[in-house]
Structure 1
Amino acid sequence: MEAEPQFKFFIVDDDIFCANVYEQFLKNIGHYDITYYSNGNDCIDNLDQNPDIIFLDHNMDGMKGFDVLKKIKRYNPNIYVVMISGQENIETAVDALKYGAFDYLIKDGTVSTKVTNVINKIVTIKEMMRESNPTIVQRILSFF
């Protein structure tokens, strides 16, 4: 059986309680490379740490979640950004996906299950991409 892949996570939320809950949950399911930021500017300033997955609060003081999302996607479109919000608003969810979020989760009693499901989806996608995406060398050799 293959080991669960390890990811580097950023949690960006101005609500320290929520951030601590997400961090503890990630640790409980075996993910320990987690960095917390209380605002979007700090997240943007540290994108050179190459996070795999960013859990990003939608409604923060200062730079709003959508602005942070757009900057993350301009920096590296391959980072999986999961917007998390207390707002159950379909327009906000659609906009998050339109701006490049991988998913949009509502802060509620089932958020831990939703986080697990999102991570499992990302693992599946990464495995499928690895299997179906030949390396440059394989592509070059296929011409001969």
Structure 2
Amino acid sequence: MNPDEDIKGMFDCCFTIFYQLKGFGEEILEDKLVHKLIYLLPESWESKKIAIIEAKDLKKLKLDELIGSLLTYELMSKRLIREKGKKIKEQGIDINIIALKSSKKHQEDSSEEGSEDEEMVYLFKNFARFMKSEKERSKH
């Protein structure tokens, strides 16, 4: 899959190849096709690829389910990117100076951020204790 290519374009290209192979007498099973399509996804799709592999049994995953899942993910990703772009434009923020504003705010509000950091440390410690106790409970 090319970086500027959408998921439908990738599927069209792959299916053209698979149908040509079928024309030459090479039969590709659906589970093998699903496996190949998942591993053809580019690095930008890594999180979705991992989610599918962990959540589904690739031998039982239907091609239609995979295509539907990937198309939905792509549409949702594009929508989120558009919404973020609209918010940035509405606020009149220049994307190139966001880092500068952030660092300036950090200098001005260091006392507030210190308390936020303490809260985060507290939450992580409690979460770690919770997970440890859950692990102990599951052993019993």
Q: Classify the TM-score, shorter chain.
A: 0.3 to 0.5
Larger CA Rg, structure 1 vs 2: 2
Give 1 or 2: higher helix fraction: 2
**TM-score, normalisation: structure 1:** 0.32
Structure (1 or 2) with the greater strand fraction: 1
Report the TM-score when normalising by structure 2: 0.33
